[in-house]
Structure 1
């Protein structure tokens, strides 16, 4: 699902956007490209995410609700995000209509000597029907890469949770065996095999319109700060990077 650009929403009003009521009365729908059926709908107002300063106070809007945030806390979270290392990986640009899976396969095919694609290589673990995706892309130099198209806070929360669960599970030998079995089905290069003795870097890669570091909502910065703290406890390095979406 592509981003909803505020410029396009504003330009859709024939008589101009004049009040909050205009946003609350406009419906935005996700339509299936194959059937033309409406999958989900929201008001334009609920699609707005952002932060503003007014009268010396900080506010953020999330899913149609405004929240006042302590200024010191805002500064702390923003500073923590700004200090996050930017990944050294030179990601290719993502063609506009590509899905995450298409992009992952494109990137790996362009850099096949250093990366393998683990996207959709689901691993049964934890009993029942539970299945887990170890990562989207794995590098020869021990970078575990998780890729997601930017689509709001909920999508980013899913991305961060996936990264943490994966990082936790590779502390267990039986999960590592399952990961390495998947790797064996992709490549004969044993250097890719997951090993607890290796020092891994968890890379969060977000397909978006930003250069270098993604501009994510404040609530997502809070979630990401929690992820970094957990990864540090587990003795992982971490970084973040934008994957620039082509116009």
Structure 2
């Protein structure tokens, strides 16, 4: 039968490609989602810069418009424009919670409400991107933990699958399937190894038993030969010392040198 070393070598030959494939897939998944995470951060930055640029451009436009209108209109018109200008500057500094909208039905009032709606849309987009970023970070962290546990032989680990049914859940389910497949393969391999080890132990026991039987049989044959040899010594012509010496030589070792 195969030895334990041969079994271990076969196990390494079988499992080494599987381990490499798993690690390769997990690294690819990790790289892919780290790139997606980087893209999300870039999207946040672009959205933020777009909002700031838009706000700055609008601020410049409103400032110029206010300067022109202030030359031909009364203070009643320039005052809301100044408030809109000041509000746009505050928002441009990063305070997206500031409101500039008014209840007036003139063009300035409509513009202020559109401005507030645009800022609210930017805030909403920022929240969505931030949530997506956190989701990606959590997914990558869970996959890393699963890879570490699989590397040390823990095949019971499972990546968490949420109820959102998004691309991260698909990744987690794929990782779980691979871990389950490897765990099943390792269990079968371990079971086969144990069965072979038991067979080898049984074979060794049988060999030891056979050796003991052969040894006992040889001892019995020596005893029989000894008895026949003693009967041949009584020829009446040999000296007593010679008869004793010949008898001792015919005895089996267990009789000559008792423990």
More strand by share: 1
More helix by share: 2
Q: TM-score by structure 2 length?
A: 0.21
**Structure whose CA Rg is larger:** 2
